[in-house]
Amino acid sequence: MTHTVIIGAGIGGLTAAALLLKAGQRVTVLEAHVYPGGSAGTFYHQGYRFDAGATLVGGFSEGGPHARLAQVLNLEWPVKPVDPAWVVHLPDGRSITQYSDPQVWHAERRRVFPQTEPFWQKQKRLADISWDISTRHFPWPPASLHEMGALARAVRPSTLYALPYLTHSINQLASQNDPLFKTFLDAQLLISAQTTSEHANALYGSAALDLPRRGVNHVKGGVGELAQTLVRWIRQHGGEVLFRQQVTQVEIGSTGRATAVKTNKSLYITGDQFLANLTPWGLAELLGSAVPQKLNRELKQRPATWGAFTLYLGLEAAQLPANLPAHHQVIVDLNMPLGEGNSVFVSLSEPGDGRAPEGMLAATLSTHTAVTPWWKLYHAQNEAAYQAQRAEYSERLLAAAANVIPGLRQSIRLCKPGTPITFQTFTRRPQGMVGGFPQTSIFKARGPQTGIANLWLVGDSIFPGQSTAGVTLGGMRVATAVLQATPPVKSIQIDPFVGIDMNA
């Protein structure tokens, strides 16, 4: 029986592990931390359950990646739809609400940005194509004849409409020149494509802008329950998930294939296939001098990706307005770049949902931040300067949120900041770089190959990138590729979507 070893219990790693287990393989997941989920994990602190990163998740409506996975594995996700998805607070004091209902959203965008209808017509058509493709097995970029075949089968006549837009950016779809509208688009794209409208690929960006209409959800008990659900499923079906096992080395044998992993607790586990639920930088650390040349070149050429600065707040619910929407995106200053506290995402737990002590709410506030300045301060060992920077960013986030949520400051009973250093510590992502690569070009998308035949990347560093839905699609793609690379299990057949016919 093929044994696949998975390094990391993020959503991407767990999804691939569950599919391979279902397909008849033996799987072992090794997780450094004491709980699963990584950037989509929930941690316990003083009676609160705080979502560490992700707070609002898509892909659970029919045909969505999480829904499809649930069908394949026969499991139920602990989710609840959220509508409206979130409220965007613009720098001029107005707000625009991201309603899930397409009719209501149509009226809302006409109210706030009446000149932009031609853009939304194109966006919708491209989004429909992207979402349609994502319901089929679409191994992008293709890396084998199998994958070329899968791609050819996935293309439909309707897909051809997208051809002229393959190299376009979102900016090229939006012909009119309203700086406020551009900032609105930029803020949406930064959280979903890790880049702004001049750079975001038109097809990818159109799908990302449609996320609220495709349905977003709260996870009961916190977003980490998605990963916990997968861990339970894997264990119930005979797979292994081991916590507190930080992989410290991937061993490469004389044939150039991965043969085993070592952990900080002296576990030595051999396997046939290896999945790294890591960034390429994280994988390189485990390979040491065995890093393939191509991967080495890639790491030298790639600029650092974004980090996150977060605030975890315990709030007294009685101090806040009743019927407050749970999610807000605040853009502070039209003339400043987004991120670094100038665009802040605010998520609140629901009253009585068990994520906070009686009468309290758990909130996660986050903003994009460049990682390098944080590490410079940290390495300078100037504790005072590091603390001052942390305090300044905390204040930026609080000011942004307090501007749109009356009573917020008075309601704070607990406040815990998180910097890229915190993210590196808790998700083990080098330099605390989160969210994967900016989705600027379909043709520069990164696949799961590592340069070592039986070692694959999975997670938000591979196409289609970030979000729990995105890494679920990536996990399905990698599971399919692993199955194609291993001797077939008798009763398992290849299916055009996840690659595994679960009825066999």
Ligand X SMILES: Cc1cc2nc3c(=O)[nH]c(=O)nc-3n(C[C@H](O)[C@H](O)[C@H](O)COP(=O)(O)OP(=O)(O)OC[C@H]3O[C@@H](n4cnc5c(N)ncnc54)[C@H](O)[C@@H]3O)c2cc1C
**Interface contacts to ligand X, rule CB under 6 A:** 7-13, 30-33, 36, 38-40, 53-57, 246-247, 277-278, 282, 308, 310, 366, 427-429, 434-435, 459-460, 466-468, 471
Q: Name which of 267 and 399 has its Cβ closer to ligand X.
A: 267
Q: Name which of 11 and 452 has its Cβ closer to ligand X.
A: 11
Collapsed DSSP state (helix, strand, coil) of residue 431: helix
Q: Name which of 56 and 371 has its Cβ closer to ligand X.
A: 56
Q: Which amino acid is at 115?
A: Q
Count the alpha carbons within 13 Å of 306 in the hemisphere toward its beta carbon: 24
Cα distance between residue 155 and residue 378, in whole Å: 49
Cα distance between residue 4 and residue 187, in whole Å: 39
Cα distance between residue 139 and residue 474, in whole Å: 9
Distance of CA 271 to the CA centre of its chain: 28
Q: Name which of 183 and 468 has its Cβ closer to ligand X.
A: 468
Least distance (Å) from ligand X to the CB of residue 336?
A: 20
Q: Name which of 38 and 64 has its Cβ closer to ligand X.
A: 38
Q: How are the residues of the chain apportioned to helix, strand and coil, as percentages rounded to the nearest 5?
A: 40, 20, 40
Distance of CA 298 to the CA centre of its chain: 22
Task: Give the β-pairing of 343-348 and 327-331.
Answer: antiparallel
Structure tokens belonging to residue 118:
């031609």
Beta-ladder partners of 89: 95, 330
Least distance (Å) from ligand X to the CB of residue 504?
A: 27
Least distance (Å) from ligand X to the CB of residue 503?
A: 27
Q: Name which of 173 and 331 has its Cβ closer to ligand X.
A: 331
Least distance (Å) from ligand X to the CB of residue 350?
A: 16
Q: Name which of 51 and 116 has its Cβ closer to ligand X.
A: 51
Q: Which long-range contacts (CB under 8 A, 24 or more apart) does 235-240 make?
A: 237/18, 237/21, 237/22, 238/21, 239/17, 239/18, 239/21, 239/26, 239/27, 239/28, 239/29, 240/27, 240/28, 240/29
Q: Which amino acid is at 404?
A: V
Structure tokens belonging to residue 162:
């997208």
Least distance (Å) from ligand X to the CB of residue 48?
A: 17
Least distance (Å) from ligand X to the CB of residue 294?
A: 21
Burial code of 293-304, b = ≥16 C-beta within 10 A, e = fewer?
Answer: eebeebeeeeee
Q: Name which of 174 and 291 has its Cβ closer to ligand X.
A: 291
Closest to 19 in 3D by CA, of 502, 504, 454, 503: 502
Q: Name which of 470 and 499 has its Cβ closer to ligand X.
A: 470
Least distance (Å) from ligand X to the CB of residue 150?
A: 22
Cβ(234)–Cβ(29) below 8 Å: yes
Least distance (Å) from ligand X to the CB of residue 5?
A: 11
Q: Name which of 223 and 320 has its Cβ closer to ligand X.
A: 223
Cα distance between residue 247 and residue 286, in whole Å: 7
Cα distance between residue 49 and residue 361, in whole Å: 10
Least distance (Å) from ligand X to the CB of residue 194?
A: 10
Q: Name which of 146 and 262 has its Cβ closer to ligand X.
A: 262
Least distance (Å) from ligand X to the CB of residue 191?
A: 7
Least distance (Å) from ligand X to the CB of residue 489?
A: 25
